[in-house]
Amino acid sequence: MSDSDLAPAGSSSYSSSTLHVGDGTWDNGRDTFLLPNLVGLNFETMRYNGMGNRFANLPGYYKLILGHGVLAAIVFLAVVPAAIFMAKFYRGDPRTAVKVHVYLQILTVFLLTVVFVLGYFAVGPERSLTNPHHGIGVAVYVLVLAQFLFGWLMSRLEKKRKDPMALTRIPKKVWVHKLLGRSIALLGIVQIALGLTLYGSPKSLFILFAIAGAFLVFGYLALDRRYYEERRVEWGVDGQNEFYSDYNSSYLSGTQTDFTQDRRQRQGRPPSQEREGGGWGKKILAGAGALGAPRNGS
């Protein structure tokens, strides 16, 4: 592209039934109108310019995109959040939480494979990877497969751990699994918004997407507040039933307090003595302060 193909900046105008721009630029070499910087299409022009309008007469396109979009919304607005919420917030049997999490992730891989295939056949090989939605979609699918295999491998390794009670912190591989899973979930939600824009979806779908997103955000914050911010704390240690990993098959038996007591006992100091010592120490200091305080008339 040469500079001679471009009209002077801001010298051209564009007008249609959905959009009017008075200070744009024509690219005569490609017969394209350039909008001013940081100025996007309005909603009606976005719909008119969308893939749904461009391929409205293509047989089977609408059904393929409908299946692609509905399944993608189910995966990233229901199945994946449910898997994360189950692993993070469920306070029943830890093994049940892990099993449900695994089953939901298997369902995610299956449904996302169908989503990927439907999207590929709807777009076709000639137009594949021609916009950010396509590229991000491929990246999300690869990350989901990698996350699934990583979770399976991590579970196999953790089952071989001889003494899970000896752990004092979450293993790094578990932290990586958590971080990657939540990143994929957020990227998938953003991908839905890009897909709605690319297709030129009606405003009602954007409203439903916003409601679903708000529900997930407020639900996560409410559960986090309920189970983490307001949890009972005893001697600086969480008293709720916990297991060191949300995503593997090795669990700590009992409570976190029991785990701390077990560690102290292995160090040769019973927890009762430590607690009592702290209490008697405070009483001794209080008594010494009372005896040493000056008295009136002395």
* Per-residue model confidence as pLDDT tens digits over 77-109: 999 999 999 988 888 887 888 899 999 999 999
Tokens of 196: 């709605």
Q: Are residues 33 and 161 in the same domain?
A: no
Closest CA to 110 of 149, 152, 145, 154: 145
Whole-model pTM: value is 0.71
Residue 101 counted as domain residue: yes
Domain limits for position 182:
51-231+238-250
User: Are 19 and 85 members of one domain?
Assistant: no
Query: Are residues 74 and 219 located together in one domain of the fold?
Result: yes
**Residue 276 pLDDT:** 44
259 domain residue, yes or no = no
pLDDT, position 37: 75
Q: Answer yes or no: are the C-beta atoms of 77 and 211 closer than 8 Å.
A: no
For 88, other C-beta atoms within 10 Å of its C-beta total 19
DSSP bridge partners of 26: 33
Domain count across the chain: 2
pLDDT score for 101: 92
Residues 86, 222 within the same domain:
yes
Q: Are residues 67 and 205 in the same domain?
A: yes
pLDDT on residue 225: 85
- CATH assignment at residue 107: 1.20.120.1770
Predicted local distance difference test score (pLDDT) of residue 211:
97
Asked, for residue 280, whether it belongs to a domain, the answer is: no
Distance between CA atoms of 17 and 41, rounded to whole angstroms? 13
On average, the pLDDT of the chain sits at: 78
13 and 131 together in one domain: no
Query: In the prediction, which pLDDT does 140 show?
Result: 96
d(CA 29, CA 25): 12
Q: Which amino acid is at 258?
A: D
Asked if residue 180 and residue 84 are part of one domain, the reply reads yes
**The predicted structure's pLDDT at residue 134:** 93
Is 256 contained in some domain? Answer: no
Q: Are 252 and 243 in contact (CB under 8 A)?
A: yes
Ranges of the chain whose pLDDT falls below 50: 1, 233-281, 285, 297-298
What residue type is assigned to position 137 of the chain?
Answer: G
Instruction: Give the tens place of pLDDT for each residue, 257-275.
Output: 444 444 444 444 444 444 4
pLDDT at 193: 96
4 with 101, same domain: the answer is: no
The Cα 195–Cα 227 span in angstroms is 34
Q: Do both 61 and 11 map to the same domain?
A: no
CB-based contacts of 262, cutoff 8 Å, min separation 6 = 165
Structure tokens at 186: 């957020």
- Is residue 156, in this structure, part of any structural domain at all? yes
